[in-house]
Chain A
Amino acid sequence: MFLKFLVVILFLANLVALGSALFALLNDEGREEGKRTAKFLLIRVSLAAALLVVILYGFYTGELGVGVPWYDASRQ
Protein backbone atom coordinates (compact mmCIF):
# COMPACT_ATOMS: atom_id res chain seq x y z
CA MET A 1 0.00 0.00 0.00
CA PHE A 2 2.86 2.37 0.88
CA LEU A 3 4.42 1.72 -2.52
CA LYS A 4 1.17 2.62 -4.33
CA PHE A 5 0.98 5.80 -2.24
CA LEU A 6 4.58 6.63 -3.17
CA VAL A 7 3.82 6.04 -6.87
CA VAL A 8 0.89 8.49 -6.74
CA ILE A 9 2.95 11.10 -4.81
CA LEU A 10 5.80 10.90 -7.31
CA PHE A 11 3.35 11.23 -10.19
CA LEU A 12 1.85 14.35 -8.58
CA ALA A 13 5.39 15.74 -8.09
CA ASN A 14 5.93 15.19 -11.84
CA LEU A 15 2.84 17.30 -12.52
CA VAL A 16 4.06 20.10 -10.23
CA ALA A 17 7.51 20.20 -11.89
CA LEU A 18 5.90 20.19 -15.37
CA GLY A 19 3.56 23.02 -14.31
CA SER A 20 6.52 25.04 -12.97
CA ALA A 21 8.35 24.55 -16.28
CA LEU A 22 5.26 25.75 -18.17
CA PHE A 23 5.03 28.83 -15.97
CA ALA A 24 8.72 29.60 -16.64
CA LEU A 25 8.31 28.91 -20.39
CA LEU A 26 5.37 31.29 -20.79
CA ASN A 27 6.94 34.02 -18.66
CA ASP A 28 10.44 33.93 -20.13
CA GLU A 29 9.21 33.58 -23.75
CA GLY A 30 12.31 31.72 -24.94
CA ARG A 31 14.77 34.45 -23.97
CA GLU A 32 18.00 34.14 -22.01
CA GLU A 33 16.23 33.62 -18.70
CA GLY A 34 14.68 30.56 -20.39
CA LYS A 35 17.28 28.48 -18.56
CA ARG A 36 14.67 28.26 -15.80
CA THR A 37 12.49 26.13 -18.09
CA ALA A 38 15.35 23.71 -18.74
CA LYS A 39 16.06 23.49 -15.01
CA PHE A 40 12.46 22.62 -14.11
CA LEU A 41 12.29 20.09 -16.94
CA LEU A 42 15.47 18.44 -15.64
CA ILE A 43 13.83 18.16 -12.20
CA ARG A 44 10.71 16.77 -13.90
CA VAL A 45 12.55 14.01 -15.74
CA SER A 46 14.57 13.12 -12.61
CA LEU A 47 11.26 12.63 -10.76
CA ALA A 48 10.04 10.46 -13.65
CA ALA A 49 13.16 8.30 -13.33
CA ALA A 50 12.53 8.00 -9.57
CA LEU A 51 8.93 6.94 -10.29
CA LEU A 52 10.17 4.33 -12.74
CA VAL A 53 12.62 2.94 -10.16
CA VAL A 54 9.82 2.66 -7.56
CA ILE A 55 7.56 0.89 -10.09
CA LEU A 56 10.34 -1.56 -11.03
CA TYR A 57 11.02 -2.23 -7.34
CA GLY A 58 7.30 -2.92 -6.85
CA PHE A 59 7.33 -5.31 -9.79
CA TYR A 60 10.32 -7.31 -8.54
CA THR A 61 9.00 -7.55 -4.97
CA GLY A 62 5.51 -8.41 -6.30
CA GLU A 63 3.91 -5.50 -4.45
CA LEU A 64 2.67 -3.97 -7.70
CA GLY A 65 1.97 -7.23 -9.53
CA VAL A 66 -1.15 -7.93 -11.54
CA GLY A 67 -3.77 -9.01 -9.01
CA VAL A 68 -6.62 -10.25 -11.21
CA PRO A 69 -7.35 -14.01 -10.87
CA TRP A 70 -7.61 -14.79 -14.59
CA TYR A 71 -4.22 -13.36 -15.38
CA ASP A 72 -1.65 -16.12 -15.78
CA ALA A 73 1.33 -15.00 -13.67
CA SER A 74 3.68 -17.46 -15.42
CA ARG A 75 3.35 -15.42 -18.62
CA GLN A 76 5.05 -12.36 -17.11
Chain B
Amino acid sequence: MSTQDAYEEYYVPHNSKLPIFASLGIFLTLYGMGNMFNEMTAGVDSSFGEIVFLLGGLVMGTTLFFWFAQVIKENHEKLYSDQMNRSFVWGMSWFIFSEVMFFAAFFGALFYIRVFVVDWIGGVGDRGPSDMLWPEYEPHWPMLNTPDPELFPGAKEVISPWGLPLVNTILLVTSSFTITVAHHGLNEGNRKKLITWLGATIALGIVFLFVQGYEYYHAYSDLGLTLASGIFGTTFFMLTGFHGAHVTLGTFMLIIMFFRALKGHFSKEDCFGFEASAWYWHFVDVVWLGLFVFVYVLGS
Protein backbone atom coordinates (compact mmCIF):
# COMPACT_ATOMS: atom_id res chain seq x y z
CA MET B 1 0.00 0.00 0.00
CA SER B 2 1.37 3.38 -0.95
CA THR B 3 1.69 6.23 1.52
CA GLN B 4 -1.13 8.05 -0.29
CA ASP B 5 -3.53 5.09 0.15
CA ALA B 6 -2.66 4.81 3.83
CA TYR B 7 -3.35 8.52 4.26
CA GLU B 8 -6.78 8.22 2.63
CA GLU B 9 -7.79 5.67 5.27
CA TYR B 10 -7.16 8.12 8.08
CA TYR B 11 -10.61 8.64 9.60
CA VAL B 12 -11.60 12.19 10.53
CA PRO B 13 -14.94 12.74 12.30
CA HIS B 14 -16.41 15.79 10.60
CA ASN B 15 -18.81 18.25 12.20
CA SER B 16 -18.25 16.97 15.74
CA LYS B 17 -19.60 19.38 18.37
CA LEU B 18 -17.71 17.66 21.20
CA PRO B 19 -14.55 19.87 21.09
CA ILE B 20 -16.75 22.97 21.55
CA PHE B 21 -18.40 21.45 24.65
CA ALA B 22 -14.98 20.37 25.97
CA SER B 23 -13.67 23.95 25.60
CA LEU B 24 -16.74 25.26 27.42
CA GLY B 25 -16.27 22.68 30.21
CA ILE B 26 -12.59 23.59 30.68
CA PHE B 27 -13.38 27.32 30.67
CA LEU B 28 -16.17 26.99 33.27
CA THR B 29 -14.05 24.72 35.50
CA LEU B 30 -11.06 27.10 35.55
CA TYR B 31 -13.21 30.25 35.80
CA GLY B 32 -15.08 28.72 38.74
CA MET B 33 -11.83 27.61 40.40
CA GLY B 34 -10.33 31.09 40.03
CA ASN B 35 -13.44 32.62 41.60
CA MET B 36 -13.36 30.06 44.42
CA PHE B 37 -9.75 30.99 45.30
CA ASN B 38 -10.52 34.73 45.10
CA GLU B 39 -13.56 34.30 47.35
CA MET B 40 -11.54 32.24 49.85
CA THR B 41 -8.69 34.79 49.91
CA ALA B 42 -11.05 37.75 50.29
CA GLY B 43 -13.14 35.93 52.91
CA VAL B 44 -16.32 36.49 50.88
CA ASP B 45 -19.23 34.23 51.77
CA SER B 46 -20.34 33.31 48.26
CA SER B 47 -20.86 30.02 46.47
CA PHE B 48 -20.72 31.47 42.94
CA GLY B 49 -17.24 30.04 42.26
CA GLU B 50 -18.20 26.59 43.58
CA ILE B 51 -21.37 26.44 41.47
CA VAL B 52 -19.52 27.44 38.26
CA PHE B 53 -16.71 24.97 39.08
CA LEU B 54 -19.16 22.09 39.58
CA LEU B 55 -21.10 23.07 36.46
CA GLY B 56 -17.83 23.06 34.47
CA GLY B 57 -16.97 19.61 35.87
CA LEU B 58 -20.41 18.34 34.88
CA VAL B 59 -20.10 19.70 31.32
CA MET B 60 -16.58 18.25 30.99
CA GLY B 61 -17.57 14.84 32.44
CA THR B 62 -20.62 14.57 30.16
CA THR B 63 -18.58 15.62 27.12
CA LEU B 64 -15.89 13.05 27.86
CA PHE B 65 -18.52 10.34 28.32
CA PHE B 66 -19.96 10.98 24.86
CA TRP B 67 -16.47 11.48 23.38
CA PHE B 68 -15.21 8.12 24.70
CA ALA B 69 -18.45 6.42 23.61
CA GLN B 70 -17.99 7.86 20.10
CA VAL B 71 -14.36 6.73 19.84
CA ILE B 72 -15.18 3.22 21.10
CA LYS B 73 -18.10 2.96 18.62
CA GLU B 74 -15.89 4.08 15.73
CA ASN B 75 -13.21 1.61 16.75
CA HIS B 76 -15.78 -1.23 16.75
CA GLU B 77 -17.00 -0.18 13.33
CA LYS B 78 -13.41 -0.66 12.11
CA LEU B 79 -13.19 2.94 10.92
CA TYR B 80 -9.63 3.28 12.20
CA SER B 81 -6.59 2.43 10.14
CA ASP B 82 -3.26 1.30 11.59
CA GLN B 83 -2.08 4.87 11.21
CA MET B 84 -5.01 6.08 13.33
CA ASN B 85 -4.29 3.49 16.01
CA ARG B 86 -0.67 4.64 16.08
CA SER B 87 -1.98 8.16 16.67
CA PHE B 88 -3.76 6.93 19.82
CA VAL B 89 -0.53 5.31 21.01
CA TRP B 90 1.39 8.53 20.38
CA GLY B 91 -1.30 10.54 22.13
CA MET B 92 -0.97 8.33 25.20
CA SER B 93 2.84 8.52 25.09
CA TRP B 94 2.79 12.35 25.05
CA PHE B 95 0.28 12.36 27.89
CA ILE B 96 2.58 10.08 29.91
CA PHE B 97 5.59 12.27 29.07
CA SER B 98 3.77 15.36 30.35
CA GLU B 99 2.82 13.50 33.54
CA VAL B 100 6.41 12.41 34.15
CA MET B 101 7.67 15.97 33.65
CA PHE B 102 4.90 17.31 35.90
CA PHE B 103 5.92 15.14 38.85
CA ALA B 104 9.64 15.58 38.06
CA ALA B 105 9.15 19.33 38.55
CA PHE B 106 7.52 18.91 41.97
CA PHE B 107 9.99 16.28 43.19
CA GLY B 108 12.78 18.50 41.82
CA ALA B 109 11.44 21.44 43.86
CA LEU B 110 11.41 19.28 47.00
CA PHE B 111 15.00 18.11 46.46
CA TYR B 112 16.22 21.61 45.65
CA ILE B 113 14.67 23.03 48.80
CA ARG B 114 15.78 20.19 51.06
CA VAL B 115 19.30 19.69 49.80
CA PHE B 116 20.30 23.26 48.92
CA VAL B 117 18.01 26.10 49.95
CA VAL B 118 17.47 25.18 53.61
CA ASP B 119 21.25 25.14 54.20
CA TRP B 120 22.02 28.15 52.02
CA ILE B 121 19.62 30.35 53.99
CA GLY B 122 21.07 28.94 57.21
CA GLY B 123 24.61 30.05 56.51
CA VAL B 124 26.29 27.65 54.13
CA GLY B 125 28.03 30.25 52.02
CA ASP B 126 26.95 33.81 52.64
CA ARG B 127 23.72 34.23 54.65
CA GLY B 128 23.21 37.65 53.11
CA PRO B 129 19.75 39.23 53.38
CA SER B 130 18.26 36.22 55.21
CA ASP B 131 20.25 37.33 58.29
CA MET B 132 18.25 40.56 58.35
CA LEU B 133 14.92 39.01 57.42
CA TRP B 134 15.03 36.07 59.82
CA PRO B 135 18.00 36.26 62.25
CA GLU B 136 16.86 33.32 64.42
CA TYR B 137 16.65 30.95 61.43
CA GLU B 138 18.21 27.54 62.03
CA PRO B 139 18.38 25.09 59.12
CA HIS B 140 16.61 21.77 59.67
CA TRP B 141 14.06 19.59 57.94
CA PRO B 142 11.13 19.44 58.15
CA MET B 143 10.82 23.19 58.72
CA LEU B 144 7.90 23.66 61.07
CA ASN B 145 8.46 27.26 62.17
CA THR B 146 7.94 30.37 60.03
CA PRO B 147 9.46 33.89 60.25
CA ASP B 148 6.16 35.33 61.54
CA PRO B 149 4.23 32.67 63.53
CA GLU B 150 1.34 35.06 64.18
CA LEU B 151 0.71 35.69 60.49
CA PHE B 152 1.69 32.21 59.29
CA PRO B 153 1.34 29.69 62.15
CA GLY B 154 3.73 26.76 61.70
CA ALA B 155 2.70 23.12 62.00
CA LYS B 156 2.80 21.44 65.43
CA GLU B 157 4.18 18.21 64.02
CA VAL B 158 4.45 16.24 60.82
CA ILE B 159 2.38 13.18 59.93
CA SER B 160 3.99 9.94 61.05
CA PRO B 161 4.70 7.69 58.07
CA TRP B 162 3.82 4.60 60.10
CA GLY B 163 0.10 5.28 60.43
CA LEU B 164 -2.25 6.12 57.57
CA PRO B 165 0.51 6.73 54.96
CA LEU B 166 1.77 3.16 55.50
CA VAL B 167 -1.80 1.82 55.23
CA ASN B 168 -2.19 3.76 51.98
CA THR B 169 1.12 2.39 50.64
CA ILE B 170 -0.03 -1.17 51.33
CA LEU B 171 -3.42 -0.40 49.70
CA LEU B 172 -1.83 0.99 46.54
CA VAL B 173 0.79 -1.76 46.14
CA THR B 174 -1.99 -4.35 46.66
CA SER B 175 -4.06 -2.59 43.98
CA SER B 176 -1.10 -2.86 41.59
CA PHE B 177 -1.08 -6.61 42.24
CA THR B 178 -4.82 -6.90 41.57
CA ILE B 179 -4.58 -4.92 38.29
CA THR B 180 -1.68 -7.20 37.25
CA VAL B 181 -3.81 -10.29 37.97
CA ALA B 182 -6.60 -8.72 35.86
CA HIS B 183 -4.04 -8.01 33.09
CA HIS B 184 -2.94 -11.66 33.08
CA GLY B 185 -6.63 -12.69 33.05
CA LEU B 186 -7.06 -10.67 29.84
CA ASN B 187 -3.98 -12.26 28.27
CA GLU B 188 -5.33 -15.73 29.17
CA GLY B 189 -8.72 -14.87 27.66
CA ASN B 190 -10.31 -15.28 31.11
CA ARG B 191 -12.95 -12.50 31.22
CA LYS B 192 -14.24 -13.37 34.69
CA LYS B 193 -10.73 -13.04 36.14
CA LEU B 194 -10.29 -9.72 34.33
CA ILE B 195 -13.57 -8.25 35.63
CA THR B 196 -13.21 -9.53 39.22
CA TRP B 197 -9.68 -8.22 39.79
CA LEU B 198 -10.32 -4.99 37.92
CA GLY B 199 -13.27 -4.40 40.25
CA ALA B 200 -11.05 -5.11 43.27
CA THR B 201 -8.49 -2.57 41.98
CA ILE B 202 -11.17 0.12 41.66
CA ALA B 203 -12.39 -0.59 45.21
CA LEU B 204 -8.83 -0.31 46.59
CA GLY B 205 -8.31 2.97 44.71
CA ILE B 206 -11.49 4.45 46.22
CA VAL B 207 -10.47 3.33 49.74
CA PHE B 208 -7.04 4.95 49.18
CA LEU B 209 -8.73 8.27 48.31
CA PHE B 210 -10.93 8.15 51.42
CA VAL B 211 -7.91 7.44 53.66
CA GLN B 212 -6.02 10.32 52.01
CA GLY B 213 -8.99 12.63 52.61
CA TYR B 214 -9.10 11.65 56.29
CA GLU B 215 -5.33 12.22 56.58
CA TYR B 216 -5.73 15.75 55.20
CA TYR B 217 -8.54 16.41 57.69
CA HIS B 218 -6.27 15.17 60.53
CA ALA B 219 -3.36 17.34 59.30
CA TYR B 220 -5.48 20.49 59.09
CA SER B 221 -7.59 20.09 62.22
CA ASP B 222 -5.20 18.35 64.67
CA LEU B 223 -1.61 19.03 63.55
CA GLY B 224 -1.93 22.55 62.12
CA LEU B 225 -0.13 21.22 59.05
CA THR B 226 -1.61 23.24 56.19
CA LEU B 227 -0.64 24.48 52.73
CA ALA B 228 0.37 27.80 54.36
CA SER B 229 2.23 26.42 57.41
CA GLY B 230 5.71 26.72 55.91
CA ILE B 231 7.76 25.07 53.21
CA PHE B 232 7.19 21.50 54.47
CA GLY B 233 3.39 21.92 54.39
CA THR B 234 3.54 23.53 50.95
CA THR B 235 5.64 20.80 49.33
CA PHE B 236 3.74 18.07 51.21
CA PHE B 237 0.30 19.19 50.04
CA MET B 238 1.42 20.05 46.50
CA LEU B 239 2.94 16.60 45.97
CA THR B 240 0.39 14.45 47.76
CA GLY B 241 -2.54 16.58 46.51
CA PHE B 242 -1.57 16.31 42.86
CA HIS B 243 -0.90 12.61 43.36
CA GLY B 244 -4.41 12.21 44.81
CA ALA B 245 -5.83 14.00 41.76
CA HIS B 246 -4.01 11.51 39.53
CA VAL B 247 -5.29 8.52 41.53
CA THR B 248 -8.78 9.95 40.98
CA LEU B 249 -8.10 10.19 37.24
CA GLY B 250 -6.68 6.63 37.21
CA THR B 251 -9.76 5.35 39.07
CA PHE B 252 -12.04 6.92 36.46
CA MET B 253 -9.95 5.29 33.69
CA LEU B 254 -10.29 1.89 35.39
CA ILE B 255 -14.04 2.36 35.90
CA ILE B 256 -14.40 2.97 32.15
CA MET B 257 -12.25 -0.14 31.47
CA PHE B 258 -14.44 -2.11 33.90
CA PHE B 259 -17.64 -1.31 32.00
CA ARG B 260 -15.90 -1.96 28.69
CA ALA B 261 -14.71 -5.35 30.01
CA LEU B 262 -18.29 -6.14 31.09
CA LYS B 263 -19.40 -5.46 27.52
CA GLY B 264 -16.64 -7.75 26.24
CA HIS B 265 -14.72 -5.02 24.41
CA PHE B 266 -11.22 -6.40 24.99
CA SER B 267 -9.35 -9.29 23.49
CA LYS B 268 -5.68 -10.11 23.85
CA GLU B 269 -5.15 -8.87 20.28
CA ASP B 270 -6.91 -5.53 20.85
CA CYS B 271 -6.43 -4.16 24.34
CA PHE B 272 -4.35 -0.97 24.14
CA GLY B 273 -6.95 0.99 26.15
CA PHE B 274 -6.79 -1.49 29.02
CA GLU B 275 -3.01 -1.89 28.92
CA ALA B 276 -2.43 1.88 28.88
CA SER B 277 -4.81 2.34 31.83
CA ALA B 278 -3.12 -0.51 33.74
CA TRP B 279 0.29 1.05 33.09
CA TYR B 280 -1.01 4.43 34.27
CA TRP B 281 -2.18 2.80 37.52
CA HIS B 282 1.32 1.37 38.05
CA PHE B 283 2.70 4.84 37.34
CA VAL B 284 0.61 6.49 40.09
CA ASP B 285 1.71 3.66 42.42
CA VAL B 286 5.39 4.38 41.69
CA VAL B 287 4.82 8.12 42.25
CA TRP B 288 3.25 7.27 45.61
CA LEU B 289 6.22 5.04 46.51
CA GLY B 290 8.47 8.02 45.67
CA LEU B 291 6.35 10.23 47.92
CA PHE B 292 6.30 7.71 50.74
CA VAL B 293 10.07 7.17 50.59
CA PHE B 294 11.22 10.78 50.01
CA VAL B 295 8.53 12.84 51.73
CA TYR B 296 7.32 10.65 54.58
CA VAL B 297 10.14 8.21 55.51
CA LEU B 298 13.41 9.87 54.47
CA GLY B 299 11.82 13.36 54.48
CA SER B 300 11.04 13.43 58.17
**Residues of chain A at the chain B interface (Cβ within 8 Å):** 4, 7-8, 11, 14-15, 18, 21-22, 25-26, 29-32, 34-35, 37-38, 41-42, 44-45, 48-49, 51-52, 55-56, 58-59, 64, 66-68, 70-72, 75-76
Enumerate chain A residues within 8 angstroms of B276, measured Cβ to Cβ: 25, 30
Decide: A48 and B289 in contact? CB cutoff 8 A. Answer: yes
- Chain A residue numbers with a CB within 8 Å of B278 are 37, 41
- Contact check, B85 vs A29: say whether CB atoms are below 8 A apart: yes
| Contacting pair A41 B297 (CB below 8 A) | no
Contact of A37 among B96, B140, B275, B286 (CB under 8 A): B275
A-B contact count (CB 8 A): 116
With A11-B289, A25-B279, A26-B89 known as contacts, the answer to whether A35 contacts B187 (CB < 8 A) is: yes
Q: How far, in Å, is B130 (CB) from chain A's closest CB?
A: 22
| B contact patch SS | helix
Q: A4-B298, A26-B89, A34-B271 are in contact. Are A48 and B180 (CB under 8 A)?
A: no
B276 to chain A, nearest CB (A): 7
Q: Roughly how many angstroms separate A15 CA and B297 CA in the complex, as a whole number? A: 18
Contact A41 B93 (CB under 8 A): no
- Please tell me if B22 contacts chain A, counting CB pairs below 8 Å: no
Taken together as a complex, chains A and B put the C-alpha atoms of A22 and B300 apart, in Å, by 32
Count, chain B residues at interface, CB 8 A: 47
Q: Which residue of the partner chain, among A4, A42, A56, A66, contacts B160 with CB atoms under 8 Å?
A: A66
Question: Are the C-beta atoms of A41 and B283 separated by less than 8 Å?
Answer: no
Given A30-B273, A56-B166, 9 new contacts (CB under 8 A): A22-B96, A37-B275, A38-B275, A45-B282, A49-B177, A52-B170, A55-B292, A76-B160, A76-B163
Taking CB atoms, residues of chain B closer than 8 Å to A41 are 176, 180, 183, 278-279, 282
What are 7 A-B contacts defined by CB distance under 8 Å? A7-B293, A14-B286, A30-B272, A42-B180, A56-B166, A67-B300, A70-B144
